Every structure is written in C-alpha cells, then in structure tokens.
Amino acid sequence: MILWNLKKIITKRKVVTSLAKKAKKEIAMEEALWKSADKLRGSVEPAEYKHIVLSLFFLKFASDKFEECRNKIIATHGEKYADMKPFYTQENVFYLPEESRWKYIIENAKQDDIALKIDTALYTIEKNNPALRGALPDNYYSRLHIDTAKLASLLDEINRINTDDKENDIIGRVYEYFLSKFALAEGKGKGEFYTPKCIVNLIAEMLEPYDGILYDPCCGSGGMFVQSIKFVEAHSGNKKKVSIYGQEYTNTTFKLAKMNLAIRGISANLGEMAANTFTNDQHKDLKADFIMANPPFNQKQWRVENELVDDPRWNGYEVPPTSNANYGWILNIVSKLSQNGVAGFLLANGALSEDGTELKIRQQLIENGLVEAIITLPRNLFYTTDISVTLWILNKNKNARTLEQNGKLKRYRDRRDEVLFMDLRQMGSPYEKKYIELTENDRKKVTDVYHAWQQVGYEKNYEDVPEFCYSAHRDEIAEKGYTLVPSRYIEFINRDENIDFDTKMKGLQAELTELLVQEEKSKADLLSVFKELGYEIKL
C-alpha cells in the first residue's frame, strides 16, 4: 500500500512538472488542427470551429487525392488524358474541375470573394458526385462573414497539414479531436464518431469480414467501414464482396459518414436519413453476416417508459431498461445477426456485471450460447473518454463446422458451452503523448489466441495464461452469477509478494528526488517569467 501511494504521488508530480515545462514538443496532426482553429478566435463561436475546418480539410483531402491520380494518369497515358473523368472514376477518385481544386483556392486565398469561391468549390463537388448528396455545407462560408485575412490565414494553416493518411478514418479523427479539445457535451464521454484505428483493426482481424453483409447500427463517421475495407484489401480480399449497411442518429455525423465513405470510393447504404436506430430503424429486415459497432457508452433515457416494449428486437429476451441503452444495443445487434453472423462491439465495463434486468438478459445470452469472447481493453484509447472499455464478441453459430474464408479452409470446434476471456490492460504503447494504442504485434498476439481457441486442435494450440486469457465453461460462469468480468476468471499474480522493498524504495527515492529538482526549476522559471512581465509573485 505504501509503494502504491508513493507511485500516485510521483504520477501527480509528473503531471505538474510536464505542465510547467516550456520545452517545445513535436506537433502532431491534431496540434496543427488546433493552430488552424486558433485562427478563428473572435470571428465565430468555438462550437463552429470543427465544421469550418473539417470542410476545408475535406476539400484539401479530395484535392490531394485528385492531384495524385492526375499525375499518375499523365505519367501513364499522357497530358491529353489528364481531364478525362472516367480515368478518375475507375480509381474511385473524385474528378475536380479547376475551381474546386485546393490549388485554386490557395492561389485566391487573399481575394475578397474567397468565401464564395470555397462555397462554389464545395457545391460543384457535391453536384458532380451523387454519393455526396446532402453531405457538404451549402453557402456556408459566405454566411459566416469571416474576415478575409483570417480566412486566408486559416487556409494557409490547413495547407500545411499532410493528408497522406491512407489507413485512418481521418475525417472522423479530425472531428473527434475538436470534440475533445472543446469538451463539447455532444460527444464527451461517449466515444462515438471516431473509434481508434487499432481497435477497429482488432475487431476486423477477429471477425474477418471478407464476404457478406457488414452492418454498424451507430456508424458515426463511418470509421468501422473504412478500416474493414482496408483489412479486406490488405489480405488480398475482394471489397466488392462486402455489402455495407449503417445508420447514424446525428445529422452532422451522418453527413460526415457520407463524406468519409464517398471520398474513399466505398459504397454504402446508410438509410434515407439520419435517424434513431431504436425508434426509426432504417434497416428493419436486415440480417448481417458481420456487425461492428461502438455505441454511445451508458446512454441514458434512450426510450421513454412504455415505448418499444413490444419491439421484435427483444424477442425471447427481457425488455432493456430505460435507464441505460447498453443492453438495448446488444439486443438490437443480436436481432440483426444472420444464421452464421458474428458481431464485435464496444461497451463500458459496467455492462459486464449490471444487475436487475441486465443480469437476466446477460444470462439468456450466455445460456443461448451467443457470447464468444469478452476482452478488456487498455485505458486511454479514446480522445473523448478515458473510462475502461470492453470488446464483446457474439457469435450466432458456435457449432462445429468447416468454413472457407478468403480461400482458406478453417475447421471450427463446438464452443457453445465456452466463453474466452482476455485482459489486454498490460498491452499497448504510448501514442500522441497521452493516448495508448495496440500495436500490430499486440493485435496479432490477441487474434492468434482467439483463432486458435476457436478451431479444432485447440488443445495443442491454446492454453490459459495468467493475467492474459482464460477459457471458461458455462457452468463456471453460472456459479459466479453470470458476471462477464474477465478478472473473475483470469488468474492474476500478486507481485507485491516478490518485491525487494529496499531496492524498490531506493529506486523510488532517486526518481522522486529528480522530480522535485525539476519541479523547483520549473517553479523558478515561472516566477521569473511573471517578474519580467511586471506581475511578480511574492511567496
């Protein structure tokens, strides 16, 4: 306990010290975005920053892809083919007339009518590309009346951003950054809009969505789809064999998804409009082979009392309570699974052990043999929340069977009475200063264990590993009251029993001494700065 408290003190002092340091850090894309937004101070409300920057970012992104494709066409076929639209269409790239190109916008950035030119560029792109219908702002920049000099400065900042990021859901990433920077209520603590690439990749690598219908009931900016298609392409699959369906409640985010998918040439059915998945299901009769989702965490009052009590999605289960939508999302997902469907989705850890109606539903899911794997993820994966999150894998068919996937034959064993528990909290590497990401090696370790556990011969290829994984029988889960908390099953080692107290204390002593010295120096620097400014602080 003493050691643990000392660690807490040291951690807090590290935070204080880091805040006091004046050394310059490497500027990531997010910091570049912040500098862009900073140009708008005093001109518009902070809540508008993300919309203003995002559309300009989209324009640059689309233009950069266009210019890259244009150069390839010229190099391959010659200059005379550079403006033939079919060459761009076959590469899933928007053809942009001159007035819609970023180069044209930058060249005219200081003109008094630059806002009108931006609006014209966006209107032209949307008019010529049906997949973008309703996704881009209409006459937006002209109505903002931003000072020409400020708008030109903003364009100059965005021009510095490198959009050559073919792997990420970059549109969603930009949007999520602004939500976290301003801590807006519309996104705080929910984790929607942008799911980190490493988590989407982990889900895709576990589900292997090579062929069939892929569905996301709360698709946000479409990141699950973007990364899933990247996974298929990376494994030499055919993305034309994957049909995409999704739904999104927030109109702004619905537009983001259309923008994000269209710019990447991904066809998708997102429904006729932005709509609530529970009260206005856009895909009522859909049966999906793969479901990937990151629902809003612990959504309150998601339905009014006595509403949706007879909804067919709860068929055979208790009606999810109004106080929390977690189990509403779970049962919506279950109802959409095809006969052999498999789902991977994220929920806050509380859903693993909630009592009352949630417990009854969880028991039904376990007894019906639907729960395949429960995986605790590291903290600090998301921009907008640091709460602990769990990945659930549900499988409609855990029977023994042989299946061909992407040209490979796999023999699955009967797993109806088993659930695989995994804990990844000791995995992950630092990412952009304060976040954690699962590396490719981390994900491979997880997926190798998962797939070995699923298949015939697992006795030779799988074993329970303390602090990492455990295969539990349904009877054991019943004995523990149908909780799905991994730590109730996975063995954990008490390392404090093997600690050399004197050695540990000397190490902590040296570390704390260094931190105190750094703090005193930072304190002196801060006092000196205030004194130079004429606001001396006397202690």
What does pLDDT average to over the chain?
Answer: 85
- Sheet containing strand 212-216, edge to edge, reads 242-246, 212-216, 288-293, 337-348, 389-395, 371-376, 418-423, 469-473
Of the two residues 171 and 309, the one the predictor is more confident about is: 309
DSSP calls for 61-78:
HHHHHHHHHHHHHHHHH-
Residue 447 in tokens: 């997926």
Give the range among 153-162, 167-176, 187-196 with minimum mean pLDDT.
187-196
At 1 the pLDDT is 44
The predicted model gives 277-285 an average pLDDT of: 96
pLDDT at 186 over 80: no
- Which range has highest mean pLDDT (35-44, 131-140, 214-223, 500-509)? 214-223
Per-residue pLDDT reduced to its tens digit, 399-428:
999 988 777 888 999 999 999 999 999 999
The predicted model gives 314-322 an average pLDDT of: 94
The predicted model gives 440-455 an average pLDDT of: 96
Per-residue pLDDT reduced to its tens digit, 336-381:
999 999 999 999 999 999 999 999 999 999 999 999 999 999 988 8
Q: What band does 242 get if pLDDT is binned at 50, 70 and 90?
A: very high
Instruction: Report the Cα 461 to chain-centroid distance in Å.
Output: 31
pLDDT at 528 over 60: yes
- Round to whole Å and give the CA distance between 345 and 88: 35
pLDDT at 189 over 50: no
pLDDT at 491 over 70: yes
- Round to whole Å and give the CA distance between 242 and 229: 8
At 11 the pLDDT is 45
At 12 the pLDDT is 41
The predicted model gives 102-124 an average pLDDT of: 96
pLDDT at 469 over 80: yes
Per-residue pLDDT reduced to its tens digit, 379-388:
888 866 777 7
The predicted model gives 501-522 an average pLDDT of: 77
| Contact indicator for 159, 60 with CB cutoff of 8 Å | yes
The predicted model gives 159-183 an average pLDDT of: 67
β-partners of residue 343 are 291, 394
Of the two residues 14 and 146, the one the predictor is more confident about is: 146
At 31 the pLDDT is 67
At 238 the pLDDT is 84
pLDDT at 466 over 90: yes
At 166 the pLDDT is 57
The predicted model gives 128-149 an average pLDDT of: 89
- Which range has highest mean pLDDT (151-165, 317-331, 383-397, 481-495)? 317-331
At 108 the pLDDT is 96
| Residue 90 burial by Cβ neighbours in a 10 Å radius (0-12, 13-18, 19+) | exposed
DSSP state of 455: B
Per-residue pLDDT reduced to its tens digit, 2-38:
444 444 444 444 433 443 333 333 345 666 677 777 7
At 442 the pLDDT is 95
At 306 the pLDDT is 86
At 69 the pLDDT is 94
At 148 the pLDDT is 92
Of the two residues 10 and 103, the one the predictor is more confident about is: 103
| Contact indicator for 222, 297 with CB cutoff of 8 Å | no
- Which range has highest mean pLDDT (205-209, 226-230, 257-261)? 205-209
Per-residue pLDDT reduced to its tens digit, 243-254:
999 999 988 888
Residue 416 in tokens: 């109806």
Look-up of token digits 């892929």: 214
> What pTM was computed for the model?
0.77
- Round to whole Å and give the CA distance between 225 and 292: 9
At 9 the pLDDT is 42
pLDDT at 50 over 90: no
Share above pLDDT 70 across residues of the chain, in percent, rounded to a whole number: 85
- Round to whole Å and give the CA distance between 127 and 146: 25
pLDDT at 389 over 60: yes
At 23 the pLDDT is 31
Radius of gyration of the chain (CA): 26
